[in-house]
Chains A and B, each alone.
Chain A
Amino acid sequence: MKNKLRELRATKEWSQSDLADRLGVSRQTVNAIEREKYDPSLPLAFKVARLFKMPIEGIFEDE
């Protein structure tokens, strides 16, 4: 699944660790999502959407 997490994180000038702390996951998980190696669960996707104040479909895009 494609996503804009890396771009969104860059706009906030957060490191992967900063974002991981805000989401309550590990830095490795943020890295795996950004590299599109891992698709987050629905609760985590909602958490990401709330954090960036965007709809889920504005961040994640089904291929």
Chain B
Amino acid sequence: MLYTGGMNAKPNLPEEIMFGPSYSLRANLKANTWAFVAMLLSWAGDQLLSLPRDWNVAQRAMIALVPLLISLLWVRSFIRWVRGMDEMHRRLSVEACLFATAVTLFVVSTWHILDQAGVFQPGFLPARLHLGSHFHTASFPISLVVAFYFLGYAIFSRRYK
């Protein structure tokens, strides 16, 4: 991948958003502010929808989808942040993103298949792993992607040390 960014600017570093000695709150906010806003709105939406009010379908859809629309803004800011990295870290980040997406798809698919096969029904493994449980909220695959991004970055960055 060619380096085309501004060469005199201080490049962004992935370590700045990972908890450790290089962590920077400023960098984290630069990359992830919209993700925090989406999480906050998601929580607020859950609270609203749980109120004993007669929301119509359009209102319910709007409340439920606002965090997803906000998360598109997060994707944009994250891409901009990755573009602000130097070429080696950009390559590492893209590899880590691909790893995280692929492994998350694999884990979620496997989980779904096992659940369909009745493995997580009462009497077998813990029933709380069932698809209807809290393990299968929207934040579950998102958390997996973030965790596997960090794992992938740790694995791939060893190649260049």
Partner-B contacts on A (CB < 8 A): 23-26, 28-29, 32, 37-38, 40-44, 47
Contact of A25 among B1, B88, B159 (CB under 8 A): B88
Which stretch, B4-12, B66-74, B108-116, B126-134, touches the partner chain A?
Answer: B4-12
A residues near B159, Cβ cutoff 8 Å: 37
Residue of B nearest to A21 (CB): B10
Total number of B residues with any Cβ neighbor in A under 8 Å:
18
Decide: B160 and A32 in contact? CB cutoff 8 A: yes
Query: Considering the complex, which residues of chain B in the window 121-161 have a beta carbon less than 8 Å from any beta carbon of chain A?
Result: 159-161
Residues of A near B13 (CB, < 8 A) are: 26, 28
Beyond A28-B89, A28-B160, A37-B160, 15 extra complex contacts between A and B, CB < 8 Å: A24-B7, A24-B8, A25-B3, A25-B7, A25-B87, A26-B89, A28-B13, A28-B88, A32-B88, A32-B160, A40-B3, A41-B1, A42-B2, A43-B2, A43-B4
Tell me the dominant secondary structure on chain B's binding face: loop
Separation of A23 and B3 alpha carbons in the complex (Å): 11
Which of A26, A32, A37, A47 has its CB near the most chain B CB atoms (within 10 A)? A26
Query: Could you say which residues of chain A place their CB within 8 Å of the CB of B11?
Result: 24-26
What is the bound-complex CA distance between A25 and B1, given in angstroms? 14
| CB–CB B4/A29 < 8 A | no
Question: Min CB distance, A50 to chain B, in Å?
Answer: 11
B88 touches A24 (CB 8 A): no
Knowing A42-B2, A43-B3, say if A24 contacts B9 (CB, 8 Å): yes
Query: Which A residues lie within 8 Å of B9 (CB)?
Result: 24
Shortest CB-to-CB span from A51 to chain B, Å, is 11
Instruction: Give the residues from 81 to 113 in chain B that come closer than 8 angstroms, CB to CB, to chain A.
Output: 86-89
Write out the residue numbers on chain B whose beta carbons fall within 8 Å of the beta carbon of A43: 2-4
Contact A29 B161 (CB under 8 A): no
A17 to B8, CA, bound (A): 13
Is A26 within 8 A of B8, CB to CB?
no
- Known contacts A28-B160, A32-B160, A41-B87; is-contact A23 B7 (Cβ 8 Å): yes
